Amino acid sequence: MTDNADDFGRNMVANLYRHRGTTVESASARDAYHTLAVTIRDRLIERYARTAAAHYAANPRFVYYLSAEYLLGRQFEQNLLYTDTREQARVAASALGYPLDDLAALDAEPGLGNGGLGRLAACLLDSLATADIPAVGYGIRYDFGIFTQSFRDGAQRELPDDWSHYGTPWEFAAPDDRLEVGFYGHTEAYNGSGPRRRWVPGETVLGEPSHMLVPGWGTETVNIIRLWRAVASSDSFDLGHFSAGRYGDAVENVTHVENITRVLYPDDSTELGRELRLKQQYFLVACTLRDIVRRFRLRNEDFDHFADKVVIQLNDTHPVMAIAELMRLLVDEYALDWDRAWGITRRVFAYTCHTLLPEALETWPVSLVERLLPRHMEIVYLINHHFLADVERHFPGDHDRKRRMSLIQEEPERRVRMAHLAVVGSSAVNGVAELHSDLLSAETLRDFAQLWPERFHNVTNGVSSRRFLRIANPRLSGLLTERLGGEEWLRDLDLLADLESHADDRALQERWRDIKRRNREDLALHVKDATGVVIDPDAMCDVMIKRFHEYKRQLLKVLHIVTLYHRLRDDPAADVVPRTFVFGGKAAPGYHAAKRIIALVNGVGAAVNADPVASRRLRVAFVPNYNVTRAELIIPAADLSEQISMAGKEASGTGNMKLALNGAVTVGTLDGANIEIRDRVGDENFFLFGQDAAEAARTRRGYYDPRSFYERDPELRAAVDAIASGAFSGGDRGAFSSVVDSILYHDEYLVMADYRSYVDTQDAVDGAWRDADRWTRMSIMNTARCGFFSADRTIRDYRERVWHVDPVRVGPHH
């Protein structure tokens, strides 16, 4: 396929006829968008066909990435870039009468995830393809992705996200690859080649895959992501009921089945909700393993080679039932003996943990697993039996250790510990930043790290330079390409280090500042549009974008804003640097404390923005519905990156990396990957505050009196009192009483203990900002020294430490 504009235009017109059944004269914007997308897609399909052929010929070891979440972001702009067709597309779009950007804006973001873990999955798939590693991402095709957030009276409202309402050009359905998944039922003994057991499911549903293309940057490789959807068989619809006018009853079965993949993380506050979540997890696992075995058998016969051809990366505990499912397939369906099956299983799986919060380590009630997956429960017991015998061999008579390590928790109710199953069934376990991996080995999974130290690794997260620099920040990327003499930095982000020697170059500094300013102007336009808030593009852009969670401490940020507000109210001439506080993030619908904090941010924002004195210096903009698309807009404009979690709680963070790469300076605690960012950019280019993980743990273990900080610190007291008095809730003193009580009397995340250090550090931030050259130098240093945080490096680490896979080069098109 040649790539001149004429060909592209001709292809597009042909596609307009074929795919939309319409003409150039009557094409709507959506017709034009879809047709353009399909024309770009054709180029990727051709690469994908060559990739598949190369993989078939090489019969290599594949990485299968299993994840309940993928936050891919919009595909349109990325695919234009990866096929180098932007210019042709621009010409073709205007031939249809539309500006390219208007069409790109019609691209829907598939919000098939919550946050960090889902976006990491997307960045890793991008880097896998870029490194020519044979890989498939497996996930769930939720009908409704992460909810759409809006605010009413400052409170979060959740609306369903019907992301594929208009269909999506990036997805290919594969109904011929449907397969059956069982649930419920019973197990039984029977005589095969000797005495055996099998599962007789009580219910079966169909899993139907679709796939999306995952192109590599600067290579021919196009991998895929395969997403499963639950579909009812055609006889599920009850025509008899329908004819009798019982329309609800007629579709009841269809709805029941298809609800399995209806939404991301169904609410688990009810018994039924919890059951649906486990069903969803098993559905993903069952479909995926069948597909992996099918793919293996295309080129291989003997299961002894399975682990040479397959490595399955478990993205947190959500897909961990895959370990029991593979054992079931090998033992029950392919009649391997237990020990052989276990040897294969152990070699195949690897597990990434993304948390330290003990409450985030999933467990499932034994009673539920027994009912939904009776055979898997037996298999988990068997794995546990062998495992505990192994522990006994290493630590004879240490019953307490066995109780702690068991796959089954006994009190207060019997539950299956998914993280323990993951560690026992994997050959490698990793945390996502150095501190996180250290804490996993020393605390959360200590007993396991003592038993199998060689299994434990660190693989520090990384982010896609293509998406978060090249696409999100074309101005800065242009400058980098110019200064670094080409686009090679997009494959090798360490090349950014070459900037360092120019950090004091006047001309570079001027350009750098100008780019930031223009990015802030773009953000200001969106903020005005989305919220009505007018922001000053010259003010420091202070950004806190992440899920709302108490441990991330958005409350600490709020207390800082209220403090500055008070300083200006008390003294209109107070020396406060103009700042825009930009927030973005969603709270889980059932997480009431986090939702109160969202309302508080909005309440404080309304008061500050309406105050004639304070609003001359300070503005608060809470961008609704934070997602990948919004991130791409906010990050390039950021000057200051808020990474202020209580130390020891944030596993890694990845927003911290994206912001630093875009030249934002971090104000942060020694938590997650902040530590590694600071190690690289240098103390002088990072604003550190607060207790470190060891201190915080000590504070929490000892006698901690949050109220004493309130009593001793007048600014803190004024801020808390203002919240309690109803100053940010129209005089309603009850509105935020739960928030105030939580920090005054419990303060699990040490907001009060870290407040003074945080506010003083923010005063130092003001000082640095006033010296524009100093600030610009810090900003440049952050970009120059963060090449390490490329997801390409993360993939190299996984290859060396965990996967042991080789690339397969895809031949050029002739």
Q: Of the two residues 67 and 776, which places its CB atom closer to ligand 26Y in the complex?
A: 67
Nearest distance in Å: CB 495, ligand 26Y: 25
654 is catalytic: yes
Residue 112 host element (H or E): strand 111-112
Shortest spacing between CB 164 and ligand 26Y, in angstroms: 22
Question: CA nearest 658: which of 57, 42, 73?
Answer: 73
CA distance 663 to 476: 9
Nearer to ligand 26Y, 154 or 672 (CB): 672
Distance CA 378, CA 178 (A): 27
Structure tokens at 220: 């021919």
Among 13, 112, 120, 765, binds ligand 26Y (CB under 6 A): 120
Q: Of 116 and 690, which CB lies nearer to ligand 26Y in the complex structure? A: 116
Catalytic site includes residue 51: no
Which parts of 289-318 interact with ligand 26Y (CB under 6 A)? 318
Query: Which C-beta is closer to ligand 26Y: that of 130 or that of 654?
Result: 654
Peptide bond preceding 374 in cis form (omega within 30 of 0): no
Cβ-based nearer residue to ligand 26Y, 116 or 668? 116
Residue type, 426: S
CB-based burial of residue 407 (10 Å sphere; 0-12 exposed, 13-18 middle, 19+ buried)?
buried
List the catalytic residue out of 352, 444, 580, 654: 654
228 binds ligand 26Y (CB under 6 A): no
Other beta carbons within 10 angstroms of residue 18's beta carbon come to: 10
CA dist., res. 464 & res. 119, Å (int):
10
Q: Give the active site residue among 50, 61, 277, 354.
A: 354
Minimum Å distance from CB 320 to ligand 26Y? 11
Asked whether the beta carbons of 138 and 577 are under 8 A apart, the reply is no
Half-sphere exposure at residue 728, Cβ-oriented, CA atoms within 13 angstroms: 31
Query: Given 547, 617, 649, 793, which residue is catalytic?
Result: 547
Q: Is 321 in the site for ligand 26Y (CB under 6 A)?
A: no
**Considering beta carbons, is residue 75 or 654 the nearer one to ligand 26Y?**
654
**CA Rg value for the chain:** 27
Other CB atoms within 10 A of residue 248 CB = 9
The nearest distance, CB 552 to ligand 26Y, in angstroms, is 9
Contact characters 244-273, ligand 26Y, x per CB under 6 A: ---------------------x--------
Say how far apart CA 245 and CA 237 lie, in whole Å: 13
**Residue 597 in contact with residue 739, Cβ under 8 Å?**
yes
Tell me if 654 contacts ligand 26Y by CB under 6 A: yes
Which are the contacts of 462, defined by CB distance < 8 A and separation ≥ 6?
123, 127, 654, 657, 788, 789, 790, 791, 792, 793, 794, 795
Find the part of the chain contacting ligand 26Y (CB under 6 A) among 420-428, 651-659, 699-707, 709-717.
651-659
Q: Residue 314 CB, nearest distance to ligand 26Y (Å)? A: 13
In this structure, are residues 743 and 737 in contact, taking their beta carbons and an 8 Å threshold? no
Burial class (CB in 10 A: 0-12, 13-18, 19+), 726: middle
C-alpha distances in Å from residue 161, one per residue of 72, 109, 144, 300, 766? 15, 10, 5, 42, 40
Instruction: State in angstroms the smallest separation of the CB of 318 from ligand 26Y.
Output: 6
CB atoms within 10 A of CB 715: 17
The reply to whether 546 belongs to the active site is yes
Shorter beta-carbon distance to ligand 26Y: residue 156 or 461: 461
Nearer to ligand 26Y, 81 or 276 (CB): 276
Encoded amino acid at 357, one letter:
L
Q: Is 814 a catalytic residue?
A: no
Q: Which of 552, 617, 649, 785 is catalytic?
A: 552
* Contacting range for ligand 26Y; rule: CB under 6 A; set: 91-99, 573-581, 645-653, 745-753: 645-653
Among 126, 362, 447, 754, binds ligand 26Y (CB under 6 A): 362
Residue selected from 39, 79, 236, 652 as contacting ligand 26Y according to rule CB under 6 A = 652
CB nearer to ligand 26Y: pick between 459 and 608: 459
Q: Which is nearer to ligand 26Y, 360 or 534 (CB)?
A: 360
Q: Which two tokens stand for residue 307?
A: 């682990």
Closest by alpha carbon to 175, among 138, 228, 238?
228
Q: Which stretch binds ligand 26Y (CB under 6 A): 12-20, 72-80, 352-360, 589-597?
A: 352-360
Segment near ligand 26Y (CB under 6 A), from 13-21, 338-346, 514-522, 649-657?
649-657
Q: Looking at residues 127 to 166 of the shown chain, list those that interact with ligand 26Y (rule: CB under 6 A).
A: none
Catalytic residue of the set 376, 658, 678, 793:
658
Contacts of 390 (CB under 8 A, 6+ apart): none
175 vs 273, which CB is nearer to ligand 26Y? Answer: 273
Q: Which helix (H) or strand (E) holds 755?
A: helix 751-770
By CB neighbour count within 10 A (0-12 exposed, 13-18 middle, 19+ buried), where does 245 fall? exposed
Closest distance of CB 458 from ligand 26Y, Å = 12
Q: How far is the CB of 362 from ligand 26Y (least distance, A)?
A: 5
Give the pair of three-digit tokens for residue 451: 């038993």
Give me the residue whose beta carbon is nearest to ligand 26Y. 116
The CB-of-147 to ligand 26Y minimum distance in angstroms stands at 14
Q: Does 360 bind ligand 26Y (CB under 6 A)?
A: yes
The number of residues that bind ligand 26Y (CB under 6 A) is 19
Instruction: For residue 385, report the phi and psi dihedrals to the nearest 5 degrees.
Output: -60, -50
CB of 741 to ligand 26Y, least distance (A): 26
For the chain, the first-to-last Cα distance in angstroms comes to 9
Chain residues 454-473 in contact with ligand 26Y, contact rule CB under 6 A: 461
At residue 20, what is the residue type? R
Q: CB 500: neighbour CB atoms within 10 A?
A: 13
Between 134 and 672, whose beta carbon lies closer to ligand 26Y?
672
**Nearest residue to 144 (alpha-carbon basis) of 318, 24, 280:** 280
CA dist list (Å): 186 to 325, 370, 407: 16, 9, 22
Catalytic-labelled residue, pool 417, 420, 546, 680: 546
Site for ligand 26Y in 80-119 (CB under 6 A): 114-117
- Segment 377 to 436, residues that bind ligand 26Y, using CB under 6 A: 432
- Bridge partners, 393 (sequence order): none
Whether 309 is catalytic is no
DSSP letter string over 29-40? HHHHHHHHHHHH
**Stretch touching ligand 26Y by CB under 6 A, among 23-31, 354-362, 784-792, 802-810:** 354-362
- Whether 552 sits among the annotated catalytic residues: the reply is yes
Q: How far is the CB of 459 from ligand 26Y (least distance, A)?
A: 10
Cβ proximity to ligand 26Y: between 36 and 459 the closer is: 459
3-state secondary structure of 426: coil
Give the x/- contact pattern for ligand 26Y in 179-208, rule: CB under 6 A: ------------------------------
Q: Is residue 372 within 8 Å of 414, Cβ to Cβ?
A: no
The least CB distance from residue 598 to ligand 26Y, in Å, is 18
Q: How far is the CB of 69 from ligand 26Y (least distance, A)?
A: 7
Looking up tokens 């070459």 gives: 498
Task: Confirm or reject binding of residue 651 to ligand 26Y (CB under 6 A).
Answer: yes
Site stretch for ligand 26Y (CB under 6 A), options 353-361, 376-384, 622-630, 792-800: 353-361
Task: Give the three-class secondary structure for 279.
Answer: helix
State how far the Cα of 732 lies from the Cα of 746, in Å rounded to an integer. Answer: 23
Residues labelled as active-site residues: 354, 546-547, 552, 654, 658
**Residues binding ligand 26Y (CB under 6 A):** 114-117, 120, 265, 318, 354-355, 360, 362, 432, 461, 650-654, 672
